[in-house]
């Protein structure tokens, strides 16, 4: 399945399918599938597969294309998590941690001025920027797992940056949210706003020649083309001239980290393969699903099911305050995923009444920006990638380093800014996630696989602290046997322990459902807009079928390459 291809991309897509059909031999699953939040990124992935690349090469192409087409959601100035499946009789799973690192000069009181946290310092400008990880991830994916040279996989993104990308409604919406901050930086305003300093008109052309040059240096020199040489020198000079604290050593020392994914057994022979710390998402999902397995959620009406889901989320999110960068703090992962512990948590859920969060032992919650991006791809051999990428808030720190086209992240805001009290959002601080030299901030990004002998699925979405709850709701649709198109479209609600309330999309609950939830002791907070942009894949091994779906809330494009039919 897949959404119709828009006219601007139809020719490129059809040409790619024809090339792929002639180049690929039958294999299991024998087809490829891609789901991304932007049509140009989907086409970049298809083009790379057509050239003989595998899912890992396609992931490089998609990530780089999203860096051009969605500067509000990800980019070379940001980072992300890549969950990998290597095909084989017994699949192997890898997790590539490309989360940004705090500069070596960072310290716990970096954003404290006159005894108080200045929230603007961790949101806007170069002091808010951690050392980017995405460029290293692209180079590592290509060299360790890909079939094609890095230069080949970066070609579509270079072309997009030079020729331009059409401004769409989502770009305009995100730019309007950050307009004031974008205007404050001359380079960001010059590149991403119109000549009057306003949000560009829809369908106007966004060209990024400096970014194209930076990508070309990466294509020629690999990781060194970003983290050393002229690009690195421009980055450090530009950041420090504007008040940042980067050094050439910060860039030279950056490395991705290969970590062991969370692997957690589920019912019916399924296994959850999820994101480990510094992601908080994999543990939260495993905990939530384990608790739900102890509860009759499948047999419940909608209000009762919501009740169970909210209560397991409440308990899972409470434990996030114990998590941080595993290279710096001890993570009690085994205890948090212990079957007896999770059964005890589930047994404490009242089937009819909300559990006040104040009655549970406290643990500090997490704040993070919610405008990331996500994609999923599987190739004909069964290699697969689910990746969630971010620069934190829309357009990151709203600071672009002159001469590079690199829009920097503001991921430093994902640390606990004030270790002695609440952060800028009124949330209690977490010592495990305090600002520290070289640390990676905690994240909720949750690229996720679920696999059994009969099926393979991939899930993921942007959305900050709401990511685990969104993925959980989609996973429940899958476990409930609902059509793949329903998984990313399901109405969303969220609870994260504190604040003690259910946030939900407009229309997620009927008036009678809202009234019944309130009667059970819940406080409901309707949001003014929908959120998230999920991309999913489903490979039914037993039937030999492959499906993909993009969130109807966004502009995403999911496509199945029906190779056998084209032959």
Bridge partners (DSSP) of residue 101 are 131
Is 464 one of the annotated binding-site residues?
yes
The dihedral of CA 496, 500, 506, 509: what is its sign? positive
Is 283 one of the annotated binding-site residues?
no
Give the per-residue pLDDT at 421: 47
Binned at pLDDT 50, 70 and 90, residue 347 comes out as: very high
Q: Around 323, how many Cα atoms within 13 Å sit in the side-chain half-sphere?
A: 28
Which residue numbers are catalytic? 372
Task: Tell me if residue 488 falls in helix, strand or coil.
Answer: helix
Burial class (CB in 10 A: 0-12, 13-18, 19+), 481: exposed
Pick from 447, 468, 469, 467: nearest CA to 459 = 447
Q: Does residue 19 have a pLDDT over 50?
A: no
Question: Which residues, 6+ apart, have CB-to-CB distance to 438 below 8 Å?
Answer: 101, 102, 104, 106, 253, 328
CA 336 to chain centre: 23
Are the beta carbons of 199 and 249 closer than 8 angstroms?
Answer: no
Pick from 361, 360, 408, 369: nearest CA to 392 = 369
Give the per-residue pLDDT at 320: 86
Q: What would the mean pLDDT of 66-94 be, rounded to a whole number? A: 97
Give the per-residue pLDDT at 414: 87
What one-character DSSP code corresponds to residue 555? -
Who wins on pLDDT, 275 or 436?
275
The dihedral of CA 45, 49, 55, 60: what is its sign? negative
Going from the C-alpha of 527 to that of each of 354, 493, 531, the distances in angstroms are 21, 10, 9
Percent of the chain with pLDDT over 90: 83
Who wins on pLDDT, 133 or 360?
133
CA 213 to chain centre: 26
Binned at pLDDT 50, 70 and 90, residue 321 comes out as: confident
Is 391 one of the annotated binding-site residues?
yes
Q: What would the mean pLDDT of 535-543 be, rounded to a whole number? A: 96
For the chain, the average pLDDT equals: 91
Give the integer Cα–Cα distance in Å for 12 and 134: 26
Binned at pLDDT 50, 70 and 90, residue 415 comes out as: confident
Is 390 one of the annotated binding-site residues?
yes
Give the pair of three-digit tokens for residue 279.
């992601």
Q: What would the mean pLDDT of 378-399 be, rounded to a whole number? A: 97
Q: Does residue 420 have a pLDDT over 90?
A: no
Q: Does residue 565 have a pLDDT over 50?
A: no
Q: What is the pLDDT of residues 210-241, one digit of tens each?
A: 999 999 999 999 999 999 999 999 999 999 99
Give the integer Cα–Cα distance in Å for 221 and 135: 12
Instruction: Pick the range with the lowest mean pLDDT from 286-295, 382-391, 479-488, 557-566.
Output: 557-566
Binned at pLDDT 50, 70 and 90, residue 255 comes out as: very high
Who wins on pLDDT, 263 or 14?
263
Is 114 one of the annotated binding-site residues?
no
Q: Does residue 555 have a pLDDT over 50?
A: yes
Cβ neighbour number for residue 430 with a 10 Å cutoff: 22
Give the per-residue pLDDT at 367: 54
Q: What would the mean pLDDT of 364-385 be, rounded to a whole number? A: 82
Are the beta carbons of 71 and 188 closer than 8 angstroms?
Answer: no
Instruction: Pick the range with the lowest mean pLDDT from 50-59, 283-292, 370-379, 422-431.
Output: 422-431
- SS percent in the chain: helix, strand, coil, step 5: 40, 15, 45
Is 414 one of the annotated binding-site residues?
yes
Q: Which domains does the chain have, with CATH numbers?
A: 1-155+257-567 (3.60.20.40)
Q: What is the pLDDT of residues 126-145, one digit of tens each?
A: 999 999 999 999 999 999 99
């Amino acid at each position: 399945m897949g959404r119709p291809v828009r006219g601007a991309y139809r020719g490129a897509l059809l040409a790619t399918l024809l090339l792929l059909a002639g180049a690929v031999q039958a294999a299991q699953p024998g087809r490829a599938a891609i789901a991304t939040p932007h049509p140009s990124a989907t086409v970049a992935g298809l083009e790379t597969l057509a050239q003989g690349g595998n899912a890992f090469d396609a992931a490089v192409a998609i990530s780089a294309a999203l860096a051009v087409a969605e500067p509000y959601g990800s980019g070379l100035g940001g980072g992300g998590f890549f969950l990998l499946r290597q095909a084989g009789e017994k699949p192997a799973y890898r997790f590539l941690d490309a989360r940004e690192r705090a500069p070596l000069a960072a310290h716990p009181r970096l954003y404290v001025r006159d005894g108080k946290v200045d929230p603007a310092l961790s949101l806007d400008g170069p002091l808010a920027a951690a050392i980017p990880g995405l460029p290293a991830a692209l180079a590592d994916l290509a060299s360790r797992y890909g079939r094609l040279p890095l230069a080949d996989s970066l070609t579509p993104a270079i072309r997009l940056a030079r020729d331009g990308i059409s401004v769409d409604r989502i770009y305009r919406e995100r730019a309007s949210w950050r307009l004031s901050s974008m205007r404050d930086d001359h380079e960001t305003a010059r590149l991403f706003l119109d000549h009057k300093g306003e949000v560009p008109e829809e369908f106007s052309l966004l060209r990024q020649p400096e970014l194209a040059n930076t990508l070309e240096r990466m294509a020629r020199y690999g990781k060194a083309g970003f983290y050393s040489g002229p690009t690195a020198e421009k980055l450090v000079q530009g950041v420090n001239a504007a008040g940042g604290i980067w050094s050439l050593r910060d860039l030279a020392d950056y490395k991705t980290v290969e970590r062991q994914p969370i692997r957690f057994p589920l019912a019916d022979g399924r296994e959850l393969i999820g994101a480990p710390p510094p992601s908080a998402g994999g543990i939260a999902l495993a905990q939530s699903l384990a608790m739900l397995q102890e509860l009759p959620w499948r047999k419940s009406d909608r209000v009762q099911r919501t009740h169970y889901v909210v209560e397991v989320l409440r308990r899972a999110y409470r434990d996030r305050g114990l998590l941080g960068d595993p290279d710096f703090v001890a993570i009690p992962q085994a205890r948090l995923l212990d079957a007896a512990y999770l059964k005890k948590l589930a047994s404490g859920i009242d089937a009819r009444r909300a559990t006040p969060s104040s009655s549970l032992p406290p643990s500090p919650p997490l704040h993070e920006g919610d405008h990331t991006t996500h994609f999923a791809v599987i190739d004909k051999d069964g290699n697969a990638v689910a990746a969630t990428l971010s620069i934190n808030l829309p357009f990151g720190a709203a600071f672009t380093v002159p001469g590079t086209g690199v829009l920097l992240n503001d991921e430093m805001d994902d640390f606990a800014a004030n270790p002695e009290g609440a952060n800028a959002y009124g949330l209690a601080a977490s010592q495990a996630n305090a600002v520290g030299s070289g640390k990676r901030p905690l994240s909720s990004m949750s690229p996720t696989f679920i696999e059994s002998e009969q099926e393979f699925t991939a899930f993921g979405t942007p959305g900050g602290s709401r990511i685990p709850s969104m993925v959980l709701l989609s996973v429940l649709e899958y476990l409930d046997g609902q059509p793949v198109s329903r998984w990313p479209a399901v109405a969303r609600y969220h609870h994260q322990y504190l604040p003690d309330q259910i946030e939900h999309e407009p229309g997620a609950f009927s008036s009678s459902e809202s009234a019944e939830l309130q009667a059970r002791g819940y406080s409901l907070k309707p949001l003014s807009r929908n959120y998230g942009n999920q991309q999913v894949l489903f490979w039914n091994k037993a039937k030999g079928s492959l499906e993909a779906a993009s969130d109807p809330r966004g502009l995403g494009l999911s496509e199945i390459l029906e190779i056998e039919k084209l032959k």
